């Protein structure tokens, strides 16, 4: 089992103070890694780092600003002595880029669509440029992106998010080939594609706020998920540790579904 050991690994994770990000941070730390929690909400990032104990840091970053990302990398190098793995966990959705009874596809504001696209796609590409260059200079490094099941099976209503995550999956394939061929075969890029995880962002889209019962949309998802439940943040940890560790050293350019079988089920 030593191949899954993360002792000595230094991991920088954007969006690390969010629900899914914080769960990954906890899992990586328990596997022995030292973590730089990169987040725009620096207070939450630093609080989480303190909870984990010495050897972990919280760092402010704006994933849409390359200067901010470069400063964060410099802090990681100064405080941790370097970085071995980048996890691009920053992302999210906006009601303005989601159709609803009150907002048709034809009326989605350009600025809302661009915000969600930038946050998820540019917010993955820009950190990969900064940290990827650092990795290329040492001929070793590992990037893990967070895509989504909505990249390959777009969810109704969620236009901007689905399109952006499709871009993240495509970028994962592209960057894996580019770094391995142009710089070093020891540079790896993969992605996790979570299925339907119940988070604060979508909780009351999938469950009724007053009763806690599943909404019509929530029932549809469960009916199309063979494991018959939503994912919990902890369900990502094992796959993330595998991709971060030497256990996956011959895996690059892969987008790994963590979806309870949703992508395998045709509905019949």
**SS3 (DSSP) at 10:** strand
Determine how many CB atoms are found less than 10 A away from the CB of residue 136: 16
Determine how many CB atoms are found less than 10 A away from the CB of residue 61: 28
**SS3 (DSSP) at 141:** strand
The active-site residue out of 134, 161, 183, 265 is 161
Backbone angles phi, psi at 261, to 5 degrees: 95, 5
Which uninterrupted H or E stretch holds 138? helix 123-138
State how far the Cα of 88 lies from the Cα of 93, in Å rounded to an integer.
16
Residue 191 and residue 147 in contact, taking contact as beta carbons nearer than 8 Å: yes
Residue 161 among the catalytic residues: yes
Residue 6 and residue 245 in contact, taking contact as beta carbons nearer than 8 Å: yes
Residue 97 and residue 112 in contact, taking contact as beta carbons nearer than 8 Å: yes
3-state secondary structure 197-257: ECCCCCHHHHECCCCCCECHHHHHHHHCCCCCCCECHHHHHHHHHHHHCHHHCCCCCCEEE
Residue showing tokens 């209503």: 157
Rg (CA), the chain: 18
User: Catalytic residues, which ones?
Assistant: 161
């Amino acid at each position: 089992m030593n191949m899954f050991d993360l002792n000595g690994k230094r991991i920088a994770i954007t969006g690390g103070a969010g629900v899914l990000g914080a769960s990954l941070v906890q899992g990586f730390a328990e596997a022995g890694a030292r973590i730089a929690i990169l987040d725009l909400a620096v207070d939450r990032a630093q609080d989480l780092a303190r909870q984990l104990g010495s050897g972990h840091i919280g760092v402010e970053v704006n994933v849409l600003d390359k200067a901010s990302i470069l400063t964060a990398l410099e802090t990681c190098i100064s405080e941790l002595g370097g970085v071995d793995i980048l996890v691009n966990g920053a992302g999210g959705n906006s009601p303005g880029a989601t159709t609803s009874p009150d907002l048709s596809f034809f009326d989605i504001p350009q600025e809302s669509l661009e915000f969600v696209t930038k946050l998820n796609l540019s917010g993955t590409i820009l950190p990969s440029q900064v940290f990827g260059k650092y990795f290329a200079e040492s001929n070793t490094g590992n990037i893990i992106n967070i895509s989504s099941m909505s990249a390959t099976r777009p969810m109704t209503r969620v236009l901007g998010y689905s399109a952006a995550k499709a871009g993240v999956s495509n970028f994962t394939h592209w960057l894996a080939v580019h770094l391995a061929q142009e710089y070093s075969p020891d540079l790896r890029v993969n992605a996790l594609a979570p299925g339907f995880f119940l988070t604060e962002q979508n909780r009351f889209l999938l469950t009724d706020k007053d009763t806690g019962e599943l909404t019509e949309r929530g029932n549809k998802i469960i009916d199309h998920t063979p494991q018959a439940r939503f994912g919990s943040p902890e369900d990502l940890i094992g796959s993330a540790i595998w991709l971060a560790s030497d256990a996956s050293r011959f895996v690059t350019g892969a987008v790994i579904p963590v979806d309870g079988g949703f992508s395998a089920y045709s509905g019949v």
